[in-house]
Amino acid sequence: MITEKACAKLNISLDVSKPRPDGYHDMIMVMQAVSLCDDIEIEINSSGKVFAKSNLKYIPSDEKNLAVKAAGLYFEALDNRSAGAVISIRKAIPVGAGMAGGSTDAAAVIRALNRYYGNALSPEELLKVAERTGSDVPFCVLGGTALAEGRGEILTSLPEIPECTFVICKPEFSISTPELFKALDRIKLRSHPDTAGIISALENGDLKQICRRLYNVFEDVPDRRMRTVTEIKQKLLSGGAEGAVMTGTGSAVFGIFTDAEEAYAVCSQLEKDYGFCVCAEPVGKQI
């Protein structure tokens, strides 16, 4: 039995370019791995088949689950046709939240299998398997703080974010990723994140300057659900957050706090208001 933690990701910033011929969009994102995580257990067998089980009933057990797809692609990269696995996923990361929950389970499977097989694949080869699995999977394999470009597969590790507490709140609704990309294509963006400014603030270890630049272009989509996003951001800021922003295509919103006690106080209030709110810390590089 092998075990691995699957950390959630947050977008410190998220910028989107025009649609590409393949239907995807080029992105420029500063990503952060955090301590909110799913727990993965893998039993390897020689059935040649992979399936998943989870504490949540609606998590698929077949290839529709990125964790199953990742294991299949990992075995394929090893040219091992007889290897099979049963993957148990204990979900703590909310689904449909913009925190790469499915992608990070897949990433944890890739790291865990590589450990089991004595680091048979190099970090570069692992990232290739991740890229074939899905757009957010390469960052989730790498972890830490990183710049992600292209579909998310072009990664540059950045200096770790200074010590802080994240308060992550998810309202009850979820937002469909393809739907939000389509809505974004129909509007002209008002503004873009200052990615270079975030990178230099990370280099200087200046948390205040990072927090001032939190920005996600998806918040500009005219959608009434963004009113709730704005409302949560305001509550985080009035509770003492240095900055607040939606992550990915939502619906989760997070604030960054320097004072952990303030963070815990806001967190328990927002949990009452919206149903899901947790505190988390930054997590460093995984490979």
Return the active site residues.
Answer: 9, 136
Local structure of 147: helix, strand or coil: strand
Nearest alpha-carbon partner for 140 in 216, 67, 42, 89:
67
Q: Where are the beta strands (DSSP E) in 106-179?
A: 145-150, 154-157, 165-170
CB 242 within 8 A of CB 214: no
Least distance to ligand C5P, CB of residue 173, Å: 18
Phi-psi region of 188 (alpha: psi -120 to 50; beta: other; left: phi over 0): beta
Closest to ligand C5P by CB, 16 vs 266, is: 16
Selection from 265, 269, 267, 271 nearest residue 279 by Cα: 267
Instruction: Check: CB of residue 166 under 8 Å from CB of residue 7.
Output: no
Please tell me what DSSP assigns to residue 88. Answer: E
Q: How far is the CB of 19 from ligand C5P (least distance, A)?
A: 7
Query: Which residues form the interface with ligand C5P (CB under 6 A)?
Result: 23-25, 27, 134-135, 151, 177-178, 181
Minimum CB–partner distance for residue 182 and ligand C5P (Å): 8
Task: Give the residue with the Cβ less far from ligand C5P, 27 or 40.
Answer: 27
Are 89 and 51 in contact by the 8 Å Cβ rule? The answer is no
Which residue in 249, 256, 121, 255 sits closest to 176, CA to CA?
249
The span from the CA of 92 to the CA of 13, in Å, is 23
- Asked whether 5 and 36 are in contact (CB, 8 A), the reply is no
Geometric angle at alpha carbon 34, from 28 and 38, rounded to 5°: 115
Nearest 5°: CA angle at 75, between 78 and 104?
Answer: 120
Our CB check for ligand C5P shows the closer of 25 and 91 to be: 25
Q: How far is the CB of 103 from ligand C5P (least distance, A)?
A: 7
Query: Judged by CB, which is closer to ligand C5P: 21, or 118?
Result: 21
What gap in Å lies between CA 245 and CA 121, rounded to an integer?
A: 36
- Closest to ligand C5P by CB, 29 vs 202, is 29
Do the beta carbons of residue 111 and residue 4 sit within 8 Å? yes
Question: Measured at CB, which residue is nearest to ligand C5P?
Answer: 135
Residue 54 or 249 having the CB closest to ligand C5P: 249
